């Protein structure tokens, strides 16, 4: 029997920058087969979300609505809805959740609830008959891990593939109106206001101005923030800059930090290690300022400025301020 390829779309969570990315990944994986999408949405958002899922390539769409979904929704509620929907379904399945912290937490918990095999954060998965071959980055992208399994139920997280999705022509849409008595009893999340001086989330910004160890101290980061404010950008940082206390943990970009997908990523005083670059989407254009001509960041940057930042940033800020 053919394995179902099912992507999950979680709507309403502000931390998810690309909620439909896993649908595009499922459609690519399914090839000429039929990719499915399960959409968890409030009733008022459901129709628009179904249309978007079809544009991303989902040929079969299950709209799971629950008017009790809070704003933002609670992951525990999603967990109950998905477990309720899938627990009784004995068919072979690969379930794909969106990349990032929200999708990964849900993937881990669903794996336990559905007694599935966890494939983790995958870059690519291919089907070989009844088997799945999953490719994952290991050691900060220095090596590739290839996992092979014939387990009937597998769960992975995947980001949007590079190739644009092919829209599904005539998708089948099913509705499942569930009312899980959850929200009333559950504790409400506390929504904290964004820090006054940092209005932009690094993982949702179109432009990121990011600093590394080469910034040398908090003074350099103050200049980066000034530049970021002028550009309407978010400020990012490498792990050593966060460890030094020049930036907050939420600003860390990389393998163990945030995944960012801006149009422009300005990397200042950072060498461009695989662990840092693992947090930047392949389509982002990188510009770099670095004083070392051998710095690896110049291998991936489209624009590189070989100079100490102390010479460049004040002039850049002055030029932007004075027009």
Beta bridge partners of 124: 135
Q: Does 273 bind ligand FAD (CB under 6 A)?
A: yes
In degrees and rounded to multiples of 5, residue 321 shows phi and psi of: -70, -40
**From the CB of 123, what's the least distance to ligand FAD, in Å?**
17
Nearer of residues 111 and 273 to ligand FAD, judged by Cβ:
273
**From the CB of 170, what's the least distance to ligand FAD, in Å?**
43
CA distance 74 to 88: 23
Helix (H) or strand (E) holding 10: strand 4-10
Beta bridge partners of 63: 39, 175
Could you say which of 99, 171, 257, 262 contacts ligand FAD (CB under 6 A)?
257
Q: Does 69 bind ligand FAD (CB under 6 A)?
A: no
Q: Does 238 bind ligand FAD (CB under 6 A)?
A: yes
**From the CB of 309, what's the least distance to ligand FAD, in Å?**
4
| Alpha helix ranges (H) inside the chain | 21-30, 43-55, 75-86, 101-113, 218-231, 239-243, 274-277, 297-300, 309-322
CA distance 295 to 302: 14
Could you say which of 74, 149, 250, 275 contacts ligand FAD (CB under 6 A)?
275
**From the CB of 308, what's the least distance to ligand FAD, in Å?**
4
State how beta strands 124-128 and 131-138 pair.
antiparallel
Stretch that binds ligand FAD, among 2-10, 32-40, 163-171, 306-314 (CB under 6 A): 306-314
Question: Would residue 263 be called left, alpha or beta, if left means φ above 0 and alpha means ψ between -120 and 50 degrees?
Answer: alpha
User: Among 85, 77, 63, 110, which Cα is nearest to 184's?
Assistant: 77
Nearer of residues 68 and 308 to ligand FAD, judged by Cβ:
308
Q: From the CB of residue 213, how many other CB atoms can be counted at a distance below 10 Å?
A: 16
Q: Does 239 bind ligand FAD (CB under 6 A)?
A: yes
**From the CB of 274, what's the least distance to ligand FAD, in Å?**
8
**From the CB of 278, what's the least distance to ligand FAD, in Å?**
7
Q: Does 269 bind ligand FAD (CB under 6 A)?
A: yes
Stretch that binds ligand FAD, among 18-26, 68-76, 167-175, 252-260 (CB under 6 A): 252-260
**From the CB of 125, what's the least distance to ligand FAD, in Å?**
24
User: Among 3, 79, 1, which Cα is nearest to 40's?
Assistant: 79
Beta bridge partners of 123: none
Q: Does 256 bind ligand FAD (CB under 6 A)?
A: yes
**From the CB of 322, what's the least distance to ligand FAD, in Å?**
23
Stretch that binds ligand FAD, among 102-110, 162-170, 185-193, 275-283 (CB under 6 A): 275-283
**Interactions with ligand FAD, residue window 197-226 (CB under 6 A):** 212-214
CA distance 127 to 93: 12
Residue pair 25/115 in contact by the 8 Å Cβ criterion:
no
In the complex, the residues that contact ligand FAD under the rule CB under 6 A are: 212-214, 238-241, 252, 254-257, 269-271, 273, 275-276, 279, 289-292, 295, 308-310
């Amino acid at each position: 029997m053919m394995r179902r390829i099912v992507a999950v779309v979680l709507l309403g969570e502000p931390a998810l920058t690309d909620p439909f990315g896993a649908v595009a990944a499922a459609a690519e994986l399914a090839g000429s087969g039929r990719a499915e999408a399960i959409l968890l949405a409030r009733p008022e958002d459901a129709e628009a979300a179904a249309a978007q899922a079809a544009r991303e390539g989902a040929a079969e769409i299950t709209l799971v609505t629950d008017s009790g979904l809070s704003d933002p929704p609670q992951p525990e509620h999603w967990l109950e809805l998905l477990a309720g929907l899938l627990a009784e379904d004995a068919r072979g399945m690969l379930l794909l959740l969106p990349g990032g912290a929200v999708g990964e937490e849900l993937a881990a918990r669903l794996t336990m609830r559905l007694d599935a095999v966890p494939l983790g954060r995958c870059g690519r998965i291919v089907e070989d008959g009844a088997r799945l071959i999953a490719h994952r980055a290991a050691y900060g992208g220095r090596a590739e891990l290839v996992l092979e399994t014939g387990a009937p139920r597998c769960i992975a997280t995947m980001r949007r593939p590079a190739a644009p999705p092919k829209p599904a022509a005539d998708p089948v849409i099913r509705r499942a109106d569930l009312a899980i008595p959850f929200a009333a009893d559950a504790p409400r999340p506390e929504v904290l206001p964004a820090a006054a001086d940092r209005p932009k989330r690094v993982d949702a910004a179109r432009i990121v101005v990011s600093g590394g160890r080469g910034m040398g101290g908090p003074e350099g980061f103050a200049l980066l923030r000034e530049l970021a404010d002028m550009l309407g950008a978010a400020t990012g940082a490498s792990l050593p800059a966060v460890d030094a206390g020049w930036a907050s943990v939420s600003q860390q970009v990389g393998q163990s930090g945030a995944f960012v997908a801006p149009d422009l990523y300005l990397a200042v005083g950072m060498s461009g290690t695989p662990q840092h670059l693992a947090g930047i989407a392949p389509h982002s254009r990188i510009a770099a300022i670095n004083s070392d001509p051998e710095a690896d960041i110049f291998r991936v940057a489209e624009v590189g400025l070989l100079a100490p930042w102390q010479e460049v940033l004040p002039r850049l800020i002055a030029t932007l301020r004075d027009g």
